[in-house]
Structures are given as structure tokens and as C-alpha cells.
A and B are shown apart, each in its own frame.
Chain A
Amino acid sequence: MTTQHAASTSASTPPSDPHDNIVQAVDVCKSFGDKKILTDVNLTVARGEVVVMVGPSGAGKTTMLRTINRLESIDSGEIRVNGELIGQRVNKHGKVVERSARDLARQRADIGFVFQHFNLFPHMSVLENVSLAAVEVRHQPKSKVNDYARELLERVGLADKADARTRSLSGGQQQRVAIARALAMRPALMLFDEPTSALDPEMVGEVLTVMKGLAEAGMTMIIVSHEMGFTREVADRVVVMDAGTIIESGAPEQVFSNPKHDRTRQFLSKVL
């Protein structure tokens, strides 16, 4: 999956990104108050890779995922997305400082985020939810955006719901709209925080099917999920988090059938 584009490396390609890694998190630490949530987390995700993050509740999975699009700031370490520090930059004195709100928004536009509780905009129709950001943020013409939004709704199996109110949809349908909404920005990376854990069991399948389709289409994804069958199927790599650190990382078969860490074994015995 990891390919080298030696020939195409231009001056604008940062030297810190030699292996085409889309995400590169180094020694990330984060506390809430005096409670340490993330301790020296290192995570590298290559373009096109599907990484599934698992671990017990409270391990810091959501927090880690949110640092990748800077919904959460970090105390130390660094996170690069597409080679750029996310939400931070190095100023002319070599000091790491916050990026402007506008600059951070530009970075986030390339990172799709799917929330556990969907967070659709209830004051808009389904189609408006999907097309809003492309029109407002990317300033693309509305008719073109609407065409693409309808295409995406078709892809997630909701072509007939374009004009519906989000309130009238089931949880599974809302989550599929949320995925279409994120895809409308043509993101380079998609982050999913337990996208099916708020759903009734009979609706989990329809959302996972959409995500499998994305994986097959080559989308780079980091997914927090406890759906082990799904993980086995789509994950290139499973990352196990516990108490704010990554304790294990590897191919799904290896992690599931031959875990190295006791805590992984304990956790897996509960979810498998």
C-alpha cells in the first residue's frame, strides 16, 4: 500500500513525509485537567490504509481520533496530516504555534469525520446536509454540488430521501447521510468514531456495508469500532488502545488469534 513517489517529489512536499503517510502522530500526549488521557501515542497511517482502533471504553480512542482533525488539541507531541502539522504551524522563530481558524478549517475540509451520534443538521433537508459544505466552504456551484450530493445519496442507498427531513430518518439512514455529507468534501481521509454503536442492531449492517464499499474504493480510513467481523474483513491493521496508549498493532488475524498483550486478550474475550 505504501508507495514511494520519488520522481514526483517536489519542493512543496515536506521532508517529514517521505513514505506518503497521510497521518503521522508522534508522542502525542493529552490531559483533561490532571487526568492523563493519551500518553505518548504514536500512529502512522499510509494512504489507502484502513486502520481499525479497538480497546476498552475510556481507553482514549475517541480523544485520539479527535486530535487527528484537531477537534481536540494536544499537550505535546505532533500530528501531521498530509505532511502538515494539524492546527499548528512552525513560526519564523522555529516555535510551534496555533494555526488561524481559517487555516485549520482548510485542513479539516480534507478530513471527513463521522460521529457516533450522526450530528446531522436538523434545520436542513437531507440533500442540504450533504451539499452545504461544498457550497459554503469550497464555493462550488450549487447545481454541480447537488448533482454530486444526489450521486452520493444513491451510493449510500438513500436517493429517495434527498428532500426528507433528517428527523424523519432512522438511525441507520441518518448515519448513512452523515457519511455522504463527509464524502461530499472529497476528503483524503475519513475518521469514524463508533459509527454503529448508537444504532439498533438491525441497522448496523446497512452502515457497515457502506463503509466496506468505501474501503474497497480505496478510501483511507481510521475507524473506532467494536464490530469484530467487520474489522476482520476490512482492516489492513488493527490498533489496540488501553489506558491512553497503543499496546498492540498488527494485521487483524494476528491480533485476534495471537494477541501479544494480556490486556488485548482480556479485551478480545469480551467482544469476540
Chain B
Amino acid sequence: MKFDWPYFWESLLSPSPQFLSGLALTVIISVVAMALALLLGLVIALMGRSRFLPFQLFASLYIWVIRGTPLLVQLVIIYTGFAAAGIFRFEDTDVLGSLIKGAVQAAIIGLMLNESAYISEIVRSGLESVDRGQNEAALSLGMTPMHSMRKIIVPQAIRIMVPPLGNSFNGLMKSTSILSIIGVSEMFQVGSTMSAATFKVFEIYIVVALYYLLLTTVWTFIQTAIENTLNVRAGLPRAEPVFKRLFGIRSRKQATPAPAIALQPADAA
């Protein structure tokens, strides 16, 4: 086997500016798409819970279509398909002094739409996990349904939702690697370009893999910290330690049935 160690270490420890900007783009696209997907997912979840039938139908249809088709196909339809059919073309746009490529906008929109369908299901089951009596108690104290949602239901549902939402974000960061198909120069795309120019295919993709691993590992630490904060605030035991979830070691027995942990085991990467 031929493995160019010096080239590997060089690429890993002092990555080129192009590679770093690819990494930055991966992070930015992930965070922005996730933030937007959270908002849209909440809206879809609320539509699904609405008493207004057209809202319910729209939410079901949306979730069905988005979850039933591949992200790759959705991205190509949004970016290339829409433009080809003359429906909509993503143009490079200046946002707060920096030029955002059309492909990047399409990537964010596509990931947001895709992720929001999954998030709406997480939000829905999180909201449903809060006992009906909680809402009734809030209403009986003179809160409006919206007020009860904000002060009573959502704060309790969040604790249930964070582990699956965190896993979702983990998956989202990894799925940015397919954005190369619409020409977004995120980390994977930069890696492919480099490997085509240098033929150091194995070395470069190992470096790319290690950087994805770094991202998802850092995120696992952040997610654990968030879960711990929420659990402590709710007077519950702490979440699984980071090293355990990174290596997939789960406690077989939960000391206390803490739904945030028991419902949806969080696994890293």
C-alpha cells in the first residue's frame, strides 16, 4: 500500500485555505439550515395539531412527500430542475456585504425543507409527550392556549425533543457532503477537487472523514451540555457521559426513568 504520510499530516494539520473555507461553509450551511428548519418544523407541527382541516392535510402531505423522497433528488429539483423549467432561479445575492452563491442558497433551502419534515415529527411527539393535564391546569389558571404552549408545554417538551433534534443535526452536518452535486464548494467538494488535482485520493478522503468526525464529535459535546443543563434545571439525573455516547456504550438500566434519555437514545456520528 502506498500512503503518503507527509502529505496526509500536512493536509490534516495545516489544511489549505480552500479546505478551511469548505469546512466553514459546511458549518455555516448546517447551522443556518438547522435554525430555519427548527422554525419551519415547528410551524408544520402546529399545523398538524391544528383543528383546521386544510392545515392538517397540508402538514401530512408535506411530511409524506419530503420524507418519502431522497434529499439528493429534492436538491436537484430545487436548484437545477426549477431553473431549467423557468420556475425559479437562485441568483448570487449580496447579504450583509458578502456574496452568497445561488447554489448555497438552494442548499440551505433544500436542507431546511428536508430537515423540517423530520423535525416537525420530533416536535409533534415532544408536544404530545406532555400530559394533557398540564395544559388544562394552565387554562384553568386563566392562560390562553398560546400562553400555555409557551410557558407550560414547550419548556417541558424541549427536554424530550433535544436528544432527537441533536441527532438530526448530526445527520444534517453529514448530509451536507452531497451538496457537491449542485456545485456547493463545501468540505467534500473541496476534497474531491484536491484529490482530482493531486491523485492523493485515499489521503485526502481520510482527512475529509476526520474533519467530519471532528464536527460531529464537537457537536456531541455541545448536545450533551445542553441536555445536562435542561435535566439539571428539571431536577433530573444527568445525561449519559460523552465518551459513552460517542462509542455507543449505553447503560442497560436507567437509574430513574428520565424520558429525555429513555425515549430516544442519542448516538453520535
Pick from B140, B147, B159: contact of A69, CB under 8 Å: B140
Q: Are A133 and B142 in contact (CB under 8 A)?
A: yes
Contacts of B233 in A (CB 8 A): 123
Contacts of B156 in A (CB 8 A): 121-123
Q: Are A167 and B235 in contact (CB under 8 A)?
A: yes
Contacts of A108 in B (CB 8 A): 139-142
Q: Are A119 and B136 in contact (CB under 8 A)?
A: yes
Residue from B138, B142, B151, B156 with most neighbouring chain A CB atoms (10 Å): B142
| B134-176 to A contact mask, C-beta < 8 Å, 1/0 | 1011111111111100011001100100000000000000000
CA distance A123 to B232 in the complex (A): 10
A117 at the binding interface (Cβ < 8 Å): yes
Pick from B146, B152, B159: contact of A121, CB under 8 Å: B152
A85 at the binding interface (Cβ < 8 Å): no
B131 at the binding interface (Cβ < 8 Å): yes
B133 at the binding interface (Cβ < 8 Å): yes
CA distance A119 to B140 in the complex (A): 11
Pick from B136, B138, B144, B151: contact of A101, CB under 8 Å: B144
CA distance A123 to B234 in the complex (A): 5
Contacts of A101 in B (CB 8 A): 144-146
Q: Are B142 and A185 in contact (CB under 8 A)?
A: yes
A5 at the binding interface (Cβ < 8 Å): no
A181 at the binding interface (Cβ < 8 Å): yes
Contacts of B151 in A (CB 8 A): 132, 136
Q: Are B136 and A115 in contact (CB under 8 A)?
A: yes
Chain A residues numbered 82-137 whose CB sits less than 8 Å from any CB in chain B: 101-102, 105-106, 108-113, 115, 117, 119-123, 132-133, 136-137
- Closest Cβ–Cβ distance, residue B51 to chain A (whole Å): 12
Contacts of A167 in B (CB 8 A): 235
CA distance A117 to B137 in the complex (A): 10
A182 at the binding interface (Cβ < 8 Å): yes
Q: Are A105 and B133 in contact (CB under 8 A)?
A: no
Q: Are B139 and A106 in contact (CB under 8 A)?
A: no
Contacts of A69 in B (CB 8 A): 140
Q: Are A185 and B133 in contact (CB under 8 A)?
A: no
Contacts of B134 in A (CB 8 A): 119, 121
Pick from A112, A117, A122, A168: contact of B140, CB under 8 Å: A112
State whether A71 and B137 are in contact (beta carbons under 8 Å apart), knowing that A121-B152, A122-B234 are contacts in the complex.
no
Q: Which 3 residue pairs across A and B have the least CB separation, nearest first?
A: A109-B142, A113-B140, A133-B141
24 contacts across the A-B interface (CB closer than 8 A):
A71-B136, A105-B139, A105-B143, A105-B147, A108-B139, A108-B140, A109-B141, A110-B142, A111-B140, A113-B136, A113-B137, A115-B136, A119-B134, A119-B136, A121-B152, A122-B156, A122-B234, A123-B155, A123-B159, A133-B142, A136-B143, A178-B137, A182-B140, A182-B141
- Chain B residues proximal to chain A, CB less than 8 Å: 131, 133-134, 136-147, 151-152, 155-156, 159, 233-235
Known pairs A108-B142, A112-B140; list 7 more (Cβ under 8 Å): A71-B136, A101-B145, A108-B139, A109-B142, A113-B140, A121-B134, A167-B235
